[in-house]
Amino acid sequence: MMTEQEHNNVQWRKVKLGDCCSINPKTDISKVQNDDIVSFVKMEDVSNDGFITSFSERPYKSLQKKGFTIFQNDDVIFAKITPCMENGKGALVRNMKSKICLGSTEFHVLRACANVSIDFIYQLTISKRFRQRAEMQMTGSAGQQRVPTAFLEDCLISIPFKNNKPDLSAQRRIAAILASADKVIVATQKIIAKYKQIKQGMMEDLLNEQCSMNNVQWRKVRLGEVCAVNPKTDTTKVLDDDFVTFVRMEDVSNDGLIASFSERPYKSLQKKGFTIFQNDDVIFAKITPCMENGKGALVRNMKSKICMGSTEFHVLRACDNVSIDFIYQLTISKQFRQRAEMQMTGSAGQQRVPTAFLEDYLISIPFKNDKPDLTEQRRIAAILSGIDAKIAAEEKVLEKYEKVKKGLMERLLNEQ
């Protein structure tokens, strides 16, 4: 880890990237035989977060003379074409078994010169700032724009120097710090993806119309039979000067949470047609693309007697013996959203989920003694919300380390 003093003592100098890297260098293929197996990397084999996620191995003779990009271990490949470049595609080539590698014609190749760390160069090329500068220099027609070689050759970067030459040790320390942050970010992303996969599987099992788990008796009912859809909310006890919670569409996240809200006098909101709801209601975005994106929430812990919000919310309020947490999990499920999308009505860009879809939608719900089994619903909802909590916790970790990485990039690779 680079200490504060070490960082402050680093002498930074601006140089052209082409002065410390060979751009699209010629690779020695004289020792490669026609029958040798070489690694082949397609554009789709490279992730948007800077890694080669897969590759194939092919005989060299099947690839030569076809114009593919040639590179080798310890090169950086950088997607030159839109939208791959803007999306972040690129990688540091490591641990390939073949003498050379071949890949998409849409890669630029960077090879470090003496006293230059390729890990440092890689971190530079995956930085948001570098990609933004590259995007500004793209040439070509719409849909076929590319980053020219000249941009990479002439791009000014800041690099640590010592004794009038690039300080390889400092570069390596900086790259190691950034790579450590990368590892945590990637590991956390994998954990989040795993939890989401587990939850999706459980949603399919627990909320499936054919479900018969744990000897639970499931019965198909219309959603409108177990919920009041867009119910009337009692406002008789709300005074004009009372403050009420106001939730805009943009206050609701795509993963089913109210991320923010404001408090406004009731008199400033009444008679304006806003949606009225209360604690323990589910709000569900009715309009495209908000509905498809996942916007909706379970309203909890609001201090005001009633809440108001966007006219583009549907409201669901659970009936007796029905868990609103269970209903909420249903409404945020991928399957429910897909079916809602199929039933949207209206003109392009203004399509909405009709009230009738919610009222008539058939759901499976656990029953006991000929009525909804509230205990079982709550048990199921608790399992699913427990996974939600784990996902949320990991997303906070991810957000933290992404901020750390961004700060390090700005601090350690700063051009000032």
DSSP state of 61: G
pLDDT, tens digit, for every residue of 263-302?
999 999 988 999 999 999 999 999 999 999 999 999 999 9
Q: How many CB atoms lie within 10 A of CB 232?
A: 8
Residues with Cβ < 8 Å from 351, sequence gap 6 or more?
287, 288, 344, 345
Spell out a b/e string for 7-42, using b for 16 or more CB atoms within 10 Å of the CB, else e.
Answer: eeebebeeeebbebbebbeebebeebeeeeebbbbe
Q: Where are the domains of the chain?
A: 4-183, 217-372
Q: Output the average pLDDT for the chain.
A: 91
pLDDT, tens digit, for every residue of 300-309?
999 999 999 9
pLDDT, tens digit, for every residue of 6-50?
555 678 899 999 999 999 999 999 999 999 999 999 999 999 989
Give the global pTM. Answer: 0.70
pLDDT, tens digit, for every residue of 56-69?
999 999 998 889 99
Which pLDDT band holds residue 322 (cuts at 50, 70, 90)?
very high
CATH of domain 217-372: 3.90.220.20
- Residues 176-185 have a mean pLDDT of 91
Answer whether residue 215 shows pLDDT above 70.
no
Q: How far apart are CA 132 and CA 85, in angstroms?
A: 10
Q: How far apart are CA 245 and CA 127, in angstroms?
A: 40
Which pLDDT score, from 0 to 100, does residue 405 have?
A: 86
Q: How far apart are CA 279 and CA 104, in angstroms?
A: 55
Percent of the chain with pLDDT over 90: 80
Cβ atoms of 72 and 92 within 8 Å: the answer is no
- Residues 340-366 have a mean pLDDT of 94
Burial bucket for residue 180 (CB in 10 Å: 0-12, 13-18, 19+):
middle
- Pull the structure tokens for residue 340: 């809602």
Q: Where are the beta strands (DSSP E) in 116-207?
A: 156-162, 165-166
**Domain 4-183 shares a fold with domain 217-372:** yes
**Overall fold of domain 4-183:** Adenine-n6-DNA-methyltransferase TaqI; Chain A, domain 2 (3.90.220)
Which pLDDT score, from 0 to 100, does residue 415 have?
A: 46
